[in-house]
Amino acid sequence: MQELQEKPADLFAAAMADFRAGNRVQAASICRRILAKTAAHAGANHLLGVVQLLDGDPVSAESHIRASLAVTPNAEAETDLSLALRRQNRLDEAEAALRRAIALDPRFALARKSLARLLPERGDLAGAEAEFRAALALDPNDAEMHLHFGRMLTQQARHADALAAFESAVALRPSWAEAFNSLGSALGELNRRDEAETAFRRALALRPRFAEALCNLGTLLFDSRRFDEAQTVLRAALEVNPDFASACFTLGKTLNHLGRSEEAIEAYRRTVKLTPDAAGAQNALGALLAEAGSFTEAEGLLRRAVELNPGFAAAHTNLGSLLQDTNRPAEAEPHLRTALELAPDNWIAAHNLTNLLRNVRRLDEAEAIARRALALKPNSADSHIGLANVLVGKASGDLSEALNLYRKAIALDPDSLMAHANLCYALTFVSFDGRDVFEESRRFAKHFETPYLAREAVYPNDRSPARRLRVGYVSPDFRNHCQALFMRPLLKSHDHEAVKVYCYSSASTPDNVTQELKGYADIWRDVHKLDDDELAAQIMEDRIDILVDLTMHMSTARPLLFARRPAPVQVAWLAYPGTTGLSSIGYRFTDSWLDPLGDTAADARYSEKSIRLADTFWCYEPLNGDIEPGPLPADSAGHITFGCLNNPCKLTDHTFGLWAEVLRAVPDSRLKLLLGHGGAREAVRGKFAALGIDPARLDFLEYQRREQYLRTYCEIDLVLDTFPYNGHTTSLDALWMGVPVATAIGKTPAARAGYSLLSNLGLSELAAATEQGFVETAVALSLNRPRLRELRAELRQRMRDSALMDGARFARAIEHGFATAWKDWLATA
C-alpha cells in the first residue's frame, strides 16, 4: 500500500480526491510530497497553487501555478493564475493570463466569465459586454453571469438591457433573493414602480433580513411619496445593518419630508459619521441645519461637501444660500454662480441669486437672473414674486408690471402668502384713494385669516380695567433698521408702572441695536426660530393683553400669528399708516392729520378701528444726531438743488410730472434722486426728457450708510415729496437735517404723511391742498432763499421742540391708546 501511494500518478489522484472532498490540508500535503520528488509535476503545482489561493496566499499560489504552466500550458491554469494576480491587484497581468487562456481554448467558459468580470474594473465596458455575451453563449444557464451582466449594464444606465439580464437570472434561479433585488432596481429605474415593489417584496419573502432589498424598497416608497411606509422599511434595514449608510441617508430624507426635522438631522448625522467623505450626506445635513438656524455647524458641513465634490451644484447652492442668509453676499455670490454654471436649470440658485443681487442693489443683473428663473419655472408663483420684487426695487415710475406679476403669482398659487402680502403692500405706493388697498387686504384676510376665526378664543387675562397692562410688540426689525428710529424713543419712555413691555423679536441676525432695545423691555424674547403656533402659545402663556403688529404686510411679517388671536386686543402700528385687512387686528394707531376726525369715508377703508394719537403717528430719534445741517447749498452752488431720497418704489410717473413742472419754473435747478445704477436711471432720464427737462439736470445716488445718507441732505435745498405715497422716515431725516419738505395733502394716510409731519412743526403751509398748489409752493420757496436759510437754521430746533421728538409725550399717547382699546374690549368681551 505504501509503495503504491508513492507513485506520483497515484499520489496526485489521492490529492485530487482529498481536494474534492474538501480536505485541502491533506491535498496540499500530498502535493508537497509529489513535488519533493518531482519538482516539475504540473498537476501537483497547479493543485497546490489552487489550495494556496483558497487559503489566502496568492503570492505562493502564483509561483506554483506558473511552474505548472511552464510544463503544461492550459486554459484552466491560466485562468487560476489570473485569479492569483487579480488578488494582488496586478490587473494588467491578470487580463493577459485570461486572454492566453481563451487563446488556448476559446470555448473555456470560465476564462470568458472571469474576463467579463475583470474588464469593467479596467474601464473596458465594451470588451466586457462582448465577453459576457460569449460566456453566456457557452453557458446560457449561468444565472450568476446574467446577474453580473445586468449589473454592468446598470452602471451604463442601460436599464432596459439590464432588466432582460435580471429577468433571465430570476427565471433560472427563482429562489434567488439577490436576483429579485436587482430586478426590482431595474424596474424602478424604468419607472415601473408597482412591478419593482413586487420584485423587492419577493426578494424579502425569500430573505426577510435582506438589508439591501429593504433599503431599495424604502427608497422606492420614498420616491412614491409613501413616507410613513418608507420610514418603517428603512428602519428595518438599519435593524439588520446599523451601519448601512444608504438606508440611513434615505431615512433622513424621509423624516424631513414627514416634518420630523430633528429626527432627520440625527439620521443625517449618523450618515455623515458612517461616510465622512460622502458629499451628499454633508450637504443634506448642512442644508437642514441651516434651515434650523444652526448656521455655524451648517456652514462647516456645506464647505466640506464642496471640498469633497467641487462639481456638486446642490452643495454650492446651499452654501451660497446660507452665506446670503447670514449677510455675506460677497462670499455667497460665487457659490450661487458656480451652481448655475454647473446646473444651468438650477432654479433655486437662480432665485436666490436674484434676491442677493436685489439686496445689494445690482438691479439690472438681478432682473436678468430673475427673468431666467421665470423662464426655468414659468408656472412657479415664487418665480413671479422674485421678478416682481426686483422691479419694485428698480422702480422708475411704473409698478404695473410688478403688480401684474404678483397677481399672476396669486393665480398660480392662491396659498402664496408672500404674493398676497406683497401685492397688498405694493398697492399702497400707487393708490390715490386707498380703496384698492383695502379690497386687496380683505381678500388676503378672507383667504388666510378665515380658517382661524372659527376657533374659539378664550383669554384668562385679569379683566381689571385700571391695572398694569401687558403689552407685546412683535417685529422682525428690532435691529439696525429704520424702525429703531421710532421704537427707541417709545421703549425708552414707557411708563413701566402702566405697562409691562414684552418684545417678541424675529430678527434672525441681532446686532448692537438689538442689544440696546432689549435693555428697554421688561421681557425680551428671541422668537425667530418659533413658528406661528409656537409663538402664539408663548404669547398666550405670557398673558399678553395688547399685542402690537409693527410690520403689517411688509417683509417677514407674521400676519397669521395675529390671525390666531393670541391676545384679546391686537393693534397695527408703525409699519405704514394703512390697513392689514384682518378682522383679528381690532385697532390701528393713526393721528388726526393722517385721518381727520369725522371722515367716515376714510374710516371705511380700514378693517381696524382707528385710534388717533394725540399729536403724531411717529416719534423720531435720528441716532446720528451729531451731523450738522450746514449752510444752504444754493449759496455756494449758485443754483437750487431739489432732492428726494425716498425708496424708489415710491416714484411714480405722476410724481415725475409734478416735479418737471417745478424744474421748468426754477431755472438751472437740479434734482437729486436715490435710484439704482443701470436701466432704472436711464428710464427716468428718458421720462424727464419727454417732459421737457434736460436729463443732465438729474443727479443720482445709490443707497448709503446712514451717516453718509444724512450728509447728503447738506447738498439739498428743498425736498420734493412723492405721490401718492409720501416720504415718512426720509422726510423726518430731511427735516432733522434742516431741509424743508414741500408736499401736497392726499386722501390716504400714506399721502398725508407730509402734512402730518409739517403740521407738528407748525409748517402746514408747506403742505398744499392741491397738487398744483404743491408746484406753486415748491417753486415759491425755492426762489425765496432768505426763507430757505431761515428754515435751515431753525428746523432742527423745531424738531426737538415738537411732539415728533418728545418720547415721553408720545409714550403717554400710546399708553392712552392702549387703555382705550382695553376698555373697549372689556366692555364687549
DSSP string, 88-155: TT-HHHHHHHHHHHHHH-TT-HHHHHHHHHHGGGGT-HHHHHHHHHHHHHH-TT-HHHHHHHHHHHHH
Q: How far apart are CA 26 and CA 20, in angstroms?
A: 11
Is the Cβ–Cβ distance between 474 and 564 less than 8 Å? no
pLDDT tens digits along 34-44: 999 999 999 99
Is the Cβ–Cβ distance between 760 and 616 less than 8 Å? yes
pLDDT at 16 over 80: yes
Phi/psi for 470 (5° steps) reads: -95, 115
Among the ranges given (106-110, 223-227, 564-568), the one the predictor scored with the smallest mean pLDDT: 106-110
Q: And the C-alpha cell for 373? A: 428663473
pLDDT at 492 over 80: yes
Q: Sign of dihedral through CA atoms 125, 130, 133, 138?
A: negative
What does the pLDDT read at residue 210?
Answer: 96
What does the pLDDT read at residue 600?
Answer: 79
Is the Cβ–Cβ distance between 305 and 282 less than 8 Å? yes
Q: How far apart are CA 477 and CA 536, in angstroms?
A: 19
Q: How far apart are CA 463 and CA 470, in angstroms?
A: 12
pLDDT tens digits along 711-736: 999 999 999 999 999 999 999 999 99
Q: And the C-alpha cell for 593? A: 392729520
Average pLDDT over residues 746-769: 98
Our CA dihedral for 462, 467, 468, 471, rounded to 10 degrees, sits at: 50
* Alpha carbon distances (Å) from 747 to 433, 656, 755, 771: 6, 19, 11, 12
Q: Sign of dihedral through CA atoms 804, 805, 806, 810?
A: positive
* Alpha carbon distances (Å) from 797 to 378, 713, 721, 790: 55, 17, 22, 12
pLDDT tens digits along 262-292: 999 999 999 999 999 999 999 999 999 999 8
- Smallest CA-to-CA distance from 421 within 402, 397, 445 is with 445
- Count of all residues that appear for the chain in the document: 829
Q: How far apart are CA 151 and CA 677, in angstroms?
A: 57
Q: How far apart are CA 781 and CA 758, in angstroms?
A: 15
* Alpha carbon distances (Å) from 700 to 390, 543, 670, 697, 713: 19, 50, 11, 10, 13
Is the Cβ–Cβ distance between 700 and 675 less than 8 Å? yes
pLDDT at 603 over 90: no
What does the pLDDT read at residue 489?
Answer: 97
- Smallest CA-to-CA distance from 742 within 776, 709, 787, 697 is with 776
Domains of the chain: 141-206 (1.25.40.10), 451-613 (3.40.50.11380), 633-805 (3.40.50.2000)
Q: How far apart are CA 469 and CA 821, in angstroms?
A: 11
Mean pLDDT value across the chain: 95
Sort strands 587-591 and 523-526 into parallel, antiparallel or unpaired: unpaired
pLDDT tens digits along 505-529: 999 889 999 999 999 999 999 999 8
Q: How far apart are CA 444 and CA 436, in angstroms?
A: 12
Compare 603 and 233 and report the one with higher pLDDT. 233
Residues 334-365 as b or e (16 or more Cβ within 10 Å = b): ebbbbbbebbeebbbbbbbbbbbbbebbbbbb
Query: Which residue do the cell numbers 419754473 mark?
Result: 665
What does the pLDDT read at residue 1?
Answer: 36
Query: Cα 707 vs. chain centroid, distance in angstroms?
Result: 32
Q: And the C-alpha cell for 474? A: 412683535
What does the pLDDT read at residue 2?
Answer: 44
Query: Which residue do the cell numbers 392726499 mark?
Result: 746
pLDDT at 625 over 80: no
Q: Which amino acid is at 354?
A: T
pLDDT tens digits along 630-647: 999 999 999 999 999 999
* Per-residue 3-state assignment (H helix, E strand, C coil) for 527-583: CCCCCHHHHHHHHHHHCCCEEEECCCCCCCCCHHHHHCCCCCEEEECCCCCCCCCCC
Our CA dihedral for 374, 507, 504, 818, rounded to 10 degrees, sits at: -80
What does the pLDDT read at residue 4?
Answer: 41
Average pLDDT over residues 785-802: 98
pLDDT at 343 over 50: yes
Q: How far apart are CA 644 and CA 688, in angstroms?
A: 15
User: How sure is the predictor about 623, in pLDDT bands with cuts at 50, 70 and 90?
Assistant: confident
Residues 738-753 as b or e (16 or more Cβ within 10 Å = b): bbbbbbbbbbbbbbbb
Using DSSP's 3-state secondary structure scheme, residue 745 falls into coil
Close Cβ partners of 628 (under 8 Å, ≥ 6 residues apart): none
pLDDT tens digits along 376-396: 999 999 999 999 999 999 989
pLDDT tens digits along 254-269: 999 999 999 999 999 9
| Element (DSSP H or E) covering residue 743 | strand 741-744
Is the Cβ–Cβ distance between 494 and 520 less than 8 Å? yes
pLDDT tens digits along 172-211: 999 999 999 999 999 999 999 999 999 999 999 999 999 9
Q: Sign of dihedral through CA atoms 631, 633, 634, 638?
A: positive
Percentage of residues in the chain having pLDDT higher than 90: 92
Q: How far apart are CA 453 and CA 45, in angstroms?
A: 90
DSSP one-letter string for 441-463: HHHHHHHHTHHHHTS--------
What does the pLDDT read at residue 59?
Answer: 95
Return the bridge partners of 652, or none: 397
CB atoms within 10 A of CB 497: 7
Is the Cβ–Cβ distance between 610 and 599 less than 8 Å? no
What does the pLDDT read at residue 466?
Answer: 87
Maximum pairwise Cα distance, the chain: 138
What does the pLDDT read at residue 617?
Answer: 98
Q: How far apart are CA 377 and CA 367, in angstroms?
A: 15
